[in-house]
Amino acid sequence: MSYLHSRPGNLDSNGCIQQVTPQSANWNYVGFEVHQLSAGQSKHFSSPDQESCMVILSGVADVSTHSQSWSSLGERMSVFDKKAPYSVYTPPGEQMDVTAVTAVEVAICRAPATGRYPTRLIKPEDCTYELRGSGTNQRHVCNILFANMDAEKLLVVEVITPDGNWSSYPPHKHDSDNLPDESSLEETYFHKLNPEQGFAFQRVYTDDRSIDETICVEHNSVVMVPCGYHPVGVPHGYDLYYLNVMAGPTRHWVFKNDPAHEWIIDKSK
């Protein structure tokens, strides 16, 4: 089993099915958790030194902080509903209370911060959309906390890759702090399949092949990308969703394609 793969897990006593910390991933920036709450259940989230973006993956919830509150956030019952999510951004030290109105699944995305930006709601209409690629390289991108919204370190985006297609392709990397040519960003992929019994493949590899892992991901898998190229392929019959969380020394997404495969871009123009 790859050390870059956090396999789907059962609920722990706190309703957490995935948890990645900088310590567990042996890196410096990205923290990521997924929690499932039953209707009426409440949870509290806070961090003294990290900014957070709570993404409502599915279901409806009441959300409050010490200064703001929102009732019945959430419109989609599945990440495959072709709707953008509701999300809430909080700075370090801000507690966020989540109470499930229906069964709800939330992702908590974290990165180090100093408190430069205030708590705010990110509504579906605040998100921006892109259709990337063509043919069997086409995927649907929803930017949740990207160029559309300010943050100190966090970048959060979700992607739907239709069955039989490739994503994060041609293979690209962002592991060199060498702006303006490339930025350095750690990244997590939280995968979901439709139907849930499906699978997909993600490869993570570096130029010198010091990392070269091919991972069979399942519904609710997390893949950690500390460095290197990281393409994803989806078999026929199954659609793939993933939520990306990125963070690094600077909040810039500047990537470099694998030179061996960059010809694919020129051919598709």
Structural domain harbouring 160 = 11-268
> Residue 267 — pLDDT band, cuts 50, 70, 90?
low
Give the per-residue pLDDT at 9: 81
Query: Measured between alpha carbons, how far is 4 from 224 in angstroms, rounded to an integer?
Result: 5
What percentage of residues in the chain have a pLDDT greater than 90? 91
Asked, for residue 5, whether it belongs to a domain, the answer is: no
Q: Report in angstroms the alpha-carbon separations of 148 from 20, 63, 144, 156, 191.
A: 25, 22, 7, 11, 23
Asked, for residue 3, whether it belongs to a domain, the answer is: no
Mean pLDDT of the 115-126 span = 97
Residue 13 has pLDDT above 80, yes or no: no
Asked, for residue 56, whether it belongs to a domain, the answer is: yes
The tally of domains found in the chain comes to: 1
Q: What is the pLDDT of residues 72-85, one digit of tens each?
A: 999 999 999 999 99
**pTM given for the model:** 0.96
Q: What is the pLDDT of residues 243-252, one digit of tens each?
A: 999 999 999 9
Asked, for residue 200, whether it belongs to a domain, the answer is: yes
Give the per-residue pLDDT at 91: 97
CATH number, domain with residue 125:
2.60.120.10
Give the per-residue pLDDT at 100: 97
Asked, for residue 36, whether it belongs to a domain, the answer is: yes
